Amino acid sequence: TNYCFNHASNGTWLDWLAERNVLAVSGVDTRALTRHLRDKGALRAVVSTEALDAKTLVKAARSLPAMAGADLVKAVTRADVHALSAEPAEAPHVVVYDFGVKRSILRQLEMQGFRLTLVPARMSARDVLRLKPDGVVLSNGPGDPAAVGYAVKNVSRLLGRVPLFGICLGHQLLALALGLRTYKLKFGHRGCNHPVKDLMTGVVGITTQNHGFAVRSDGQLPRGVEFTHLNLNDDTVEGLRCEEQLAFSVQYHPEASPGPRDSGHLFTRFREAILRSSGDGRKS
C-alpha cells in the first residue's frame, strides 16, 4: 500500500488516503471474518485507531449493549410536534410517528398530496387523535420493537380508529399491537436486493431492507390478521394486514430511495384506505 510503480505516479495510495482523510483497514483476513459472521450471526464489534491490544478491544466489544432489548428510538425521535407540509386544509391529514423516519418516506407521502404532521414517538394515542388525522404512519426506526412498549400501547389504542400504515420498525410495532411476537434475526436484512412475494397477487418485487428483527410466523394468527408478503430468501414475514382494524404494514422500505421502486404503490394504497375510511364514516 505504500509503494507506487506507475511512471506517472506522484504519490502512494496511503498519501492519497491521508490527503482526503479516508480511513482504511489492512492486515485483516476479511474472508475469515466473513466466515465467522456466517456461522455466528451478527455480533458486537469495535474498531479503534488508538487501543490496539487485542484483550482491551475484546473487553470493549463485550461491554457494548446488546441489540436485543435496546430502545434506540428514544435517541432518534423528535422532541416536538411539527406540521411539515403546506398542503391545503382540505387535503387528507396524515400524522407520522417519528421513530427515526427517513426523509424519503416523507417525500413519498407528500407526493400523495397529504398534509403531514410529525409527532414524537411517545405521543399518546389520545393526543394524536386530537390532531384529527385521516391516517397515521408508523415510521421506520432502530432497535428492538419489543423494547418500545410505549409505542406498542399507543398503536393498540389507534387500531380501528384511523387507517394505519407501518414501515419497517412500524410494521413490527403494529404486529405487536395486534398480538403477534417479534424476534432477533441471526442475520439482519441489509441492502437493496431482497426478493419479496406479495401473497395477495403472486407478484415478486425486489425490495430495500435494513432491519435486525422480524415478526414471528409460528403460532395461530390473531383474528382478522393475515400475512401479505414473504421474503423468498429465508421465508420471513414481510407484510401483514388487518382490514377490520384499518391497518397494514411492510417490513421493507417501499420508498426505496436509494434502491428499487417496486413497492411505491403502497403509498397509493394507503391513500385509498384513507379515502374509503372517510367515505364510510369509520374515522373517529
Q: Which residues belong to the active site?
A: 168, 253, 255
**Contact status, residue 112 vs residue 271, Cβ threshold 8 Å:** yes
* H/E element, 14: helix 13-19
Coil, helix or strand at residue 223: coil
φ and ψ at residue 211, rounded to 5 degrees: -155, 155
Which single residue is written with the C-alpha cell 374509503?
Answer: 276
Termini Cα distance of the chain = 65
Q: How many helices (H) and strands (E) does the chain have?
A: 9, 10
Three-state SS for 38-74 is HHHCCCCCCCCCCCCCHHHHHHHHHCCCCCCCCCCHH
Radius of gyration of the chain (CA): 22
Which single residue is written with the C-alpha cell 401473497?
Answer: 199
Cα 282 from Cα 146, distance rounded (Å):
29
Distances (CA, A) of 265 to 109, 215, 269: 11, 23, 6
Which single residue is written with the C-alpha cell 424519503?
Answer: 104
How many C-beta atoms surround the C-beta of residue 212 within 10 A?
18
Instruction: Indicate the pairing of strand 164-167 with strand 135-138.
Output: parallel
